[in-house]
Structure 1
Amino acid sequence: MPPSLSRPGNKRQKANLYGQRSEALAALLLQAKLYRIRERRYKTPGGEIDLIAERGNTIIFVEVKSRLSAAGAGEALEAVNAARIVRAAEHWLSRHPREAEKSCRFDVIFLAPGRWPRHLINAFDAGA
């Protein structure tokens, strides 16, 4: 019988569960801002995009960074691998050619316990 995700036993399982919860919270935040969630945890051979959302005529590729303290937000932004996310976005766009005419942007959502989520709109561009 596989281990219960409600009570994970090792650090990797705990980190994975924390990440899933953070992404779910970020998705709720975006939905409250009238974004439509298109994909969650979109996996490509070169990486993963946490959330793909749409609002108006814009496709938004979202990286979710959660830290145990708000002080880690700057460090989390440095940890964003923009090139990997851009490659994954290009992969998604190649699979959805009708969406290629829409504008795209890359956002980052920071989460920390006891703090409001911080949504950094257009955190980097595709040339990053």
Structure 2
Amino acid sequence: MTAAPTVSELVEGATHGARLEGASRVAAAAGDGRQVRLGVWLDGRGGVSRAGFQSTSCAALIAYAERACQLLERGRHPRELPAEALRDAVRGVHPAHRARAELVARALADLAAPPQPGAEP
């Protein structure tokens, strides 16, 4: 089994930081002066064909969001990515910043919820 990527690997190689216009679904979470937005583009079967994020500038938050997007594109459902799973999926996060996974997990939980009638993507 391959080891989880590190914060520095994820931040340095980040490819999912993106504009979210046109996404099928967008969800956001904020707290402690930080925020993250996740967007997914769904294929014809309801699977994620593309994922992207926007976030404030915190390396741990960027790493968790980048890893979440990678996992979504590999077929993981947002419900399968609670905060603890994200913490396990990223190595090298400073203990004081491990709570950043909660923000990404909250946005993922909103992506997993059924869309509300009249809600914008």
Q: TM above 0.5, one fold?
A: no
Q: Which has the larger radius of gyration?
A: 1
Identify, as 1 or 2, the structure richer in strand. 1
Calculate the TM-score normalised by the size of structure 2.
0.29
Q: Which has the higher contact order (CA 8 A, sep 6+)?
A: 2
